[in-house]
C-alpha cells in the first residue's frame, strides 16, 4: 500500500481528508482493531448513560445522599479507614493495565512466554478485583443496602451503586475470560502461525477500557 | 498490513505511565482522606480523573500514535454526551425544585 506511506507524510488535516475521501479503507489499522474501537465507543455511551442517570437522581433527591467516604470505610486495626478497599481495587486495576500494556509489547516482539505470563497475571489481577467487589457487595447487602433503599439516606443510592458497579464488574469478568482465551491461543502458537499479534493488542484495548471506566466511576461515584 | 508490526514502543514508557497512574490515584485518594470540600475537592478530583483517562487512552491504548482519522472517529462522538449531561443536569435541578415545592410546603 504505497498510498498509506504517501498519506502519512501529509499535514494532519490533509491526511484525514485523504483517508476519508480516497477509494480505500478509511482507517489504516487492522479491521479488528477499528471494530474494537467502535465497540468501545458504544460502551462509552452506555456507561455515560449510567453515570448521567446517577447524576440526575443524585441532583433531584431531596434526601441527603449517603456519604461514600463513610459507607465504603473498612474497620481495620480498631479504626475506620475511609474508602480503603476502593483504593486497593483501583491500584489492582491500574497494575493489571500496566501488565497488559507490557503483554501487548512483548507480543509484537514475538516473545510468547512473556506475553502469556503477563496476560495471565493481568487476568489474575482482574479476578482479584472482581473478588474484592464481591466482598464489597456482600458487606453492603449485609448492612441493608438494597436497590430500593438503605439505612443512610437517599434510596436511589443502592440502585445507582448496584447498576454501575455491577455492569463494570460484568465487564471485568468478561475481560478475564477473554484474556485467558487469547493467552491460551498465544501459548499454543496460534498467532505465531498467523504471523500477527494484533489480537493481543485488541484484547488489550478492551482491558484498558475497563480500567478507564473505573477511573470515572472512582471519581464520580466514590469520591464525589 | 502496511504497518507490519503495529505498535512497538520501549517498555520504559509503560512503566512511567503506570507509575504516574499510581501517583495520580494516590492523590485523588488523599483528596478524600483529608476531607477536602467544595470547589477545591471537585476541581482536584476532575483534574486527576482527566489526567488518568488521558494517559490510559493516549499511551496504554496507543491513541497518541494512531492516525488523525481514527482519533477523530473515536474521540469526537463522545463530545455529544456533554449535551446529554447538560440536559440531565438541568432536568435534575428542575425535579429537585419541583419536589421541594410539592413536599416542603
Segment B48-69, tens digit of pLDDT: 999 999 999 999 999 999 999 9
B1: confidence class by pLDDT, cuts 50, 70, 90 = very low
- Residue B23, all three cell numbers: 501517583
A60/chain B closest Cα distance in angstroms: 4
Q: Which uninterrupted H or E stretch holds A206?
A: helix A198-217
Closest alpha carbon to B27 in A72, A223, A126, A92: A223
Low-confidence ranges of chain A (pLDDT < 70): 1-3
Distance CA A47, CA A166 (A): 11
B-chain CB neighbours of A104 within 8 Å are 7
Distance CA A184, CA A173 (A): 17
Give residue for cell 497494575: A95
- B77 inside 8 A of chain A by CB: yes
Q: What's the pTM value of the predicted model, to 2 decimals? A: 0.91
Q: What is the DSSP string of A119-146?
A: HHHHHHHHHHHHHHHHHHHHHHHHTT-B
pLDDT single digits (tens) A43-92: 999 999 999 999 999 999 999 999 888 888 888 877 888 888 999 999 99
CATH of domain A30-223: 1.20.120.80
- A95 inside 8 A of chain B by CB: yes
State the pLDDT at residue B3.
44
State the pLDDT at residue A78.
77
Distance of CA A43 to the CA centre of its chain: 10
Output phi, psi for B3, to 5 deg. -90, 80
Q: Nearest CB to A16: which of B2, B8, B72?
A: B72
B2: confidence class by pLDDT, cuts 50, 70, 90 = very low
Is-contact A100 A184, C-beta < 8 A?
A: no
pLDDT single digits (tens) B15-50: 999 999 999 999 999 998 888 888 999 999 999 999
State the pLDDT at residue A3.
65
The chain B residue lying nearest A34, using CA atoms, is: B70
Cross-chain Cβ contact A55/B33 below 8 Å: no
ipTM for the complex shown: 0.91
Other beta carbons less than 10 A from residue B35's beta carbon: 9
Distance CA A34, CA A12 (A): 19
Amino acid at each position: 500500500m504505497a498510498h498509506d506511506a504517501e498519506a502519512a507524510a501529509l499535514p494532519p488535516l490533509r491526511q484525514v481528508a485523504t483517508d476519508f475521501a480516497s477509494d480505500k479503507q478509511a482507517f489504516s489499522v487492522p479491521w479488528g482493531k477499528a471494530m474494537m474501537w467502535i465497540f468501545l465507543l458504544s460502551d462509552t455511551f452506555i456507561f455515560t448513560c449510567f453515570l448521567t442517570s446517577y447524576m440526575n437522581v443524585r441532583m433531584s433527591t431531596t434526601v441527603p445522599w449517603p456519604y461514600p467516604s463513610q459507607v465504603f470505610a473498612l474497620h481495620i486495626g480498631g479504626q475506620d479507614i475511609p474508602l480503603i478497599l476502593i483504593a486497593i481495587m483501583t491500584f489492582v486495576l491500574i497494575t493489571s493495565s500496566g501488565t497488559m500494556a507490557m503483554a501487548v509489547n512483548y507480543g509484537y516482539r514475538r516473545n510468547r512466554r512473556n506475553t502469556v505470563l503477563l496476560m495471565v497475571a493481568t487476568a489474575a489481577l482482574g479476578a482479584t478485583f472482581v473478588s474484592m467487589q464481591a466482598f464489597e457487595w456482600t458487606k453492603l447487602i449485609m448492612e441493608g443496602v438494597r436497590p430500593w433503599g438503605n439505612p443512610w439516606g437517599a434510596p436511589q443510592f443502592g440502585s445507582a451503586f448496584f447498576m454501575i458497579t455491577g455492569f463494570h464488574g460484568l465487564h471485568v469478568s468478561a475481560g478475564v475470560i477473554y484474556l485467558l482465551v487469547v493467552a491460551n491461543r498465544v501459548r499454543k502458537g496460534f498467532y505465531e502461525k498467523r504471523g500477527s499479534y494484533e489480537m493481543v493488542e485488541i484484547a488489550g484495548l478492551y482491558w484498558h477500557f475497563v480500567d478507564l471506566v473505573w477511573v470515572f466511576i472512582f471519581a464520580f461515584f466514590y469520591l464525589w | 498490513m502496511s504497518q507490519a508490526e503495529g505498535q512497538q514502543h520501549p517498555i520504559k514508557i509503560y512503566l512511567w505511565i503506570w507509575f504516574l497512574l499510581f501517583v495520580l490515584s494516590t492523590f485523588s485518594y488523599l483528596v478524600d482522606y483529608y476531607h477536602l470540600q467544595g470547589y477545591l475537592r471537585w476541581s482536584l478530583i476532575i483534574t486527576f480523573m482527566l489526567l488518568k483517562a488521558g494517559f490510559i487512552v493516549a499511551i496504554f491504548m496507543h491513541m497518541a500514535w494512531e492516525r488523525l482519522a481514527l482519533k477523530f472517529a473515536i474521540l469526537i462522538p463522545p463530545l455529544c454526551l456533554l449535551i446529554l449531561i447538560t440536559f440531565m443536569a438541568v432536568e435534575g435541578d428542575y425535579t429537585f425544585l419541583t419536589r421541594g415545592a410539592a413536599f416542603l410546603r
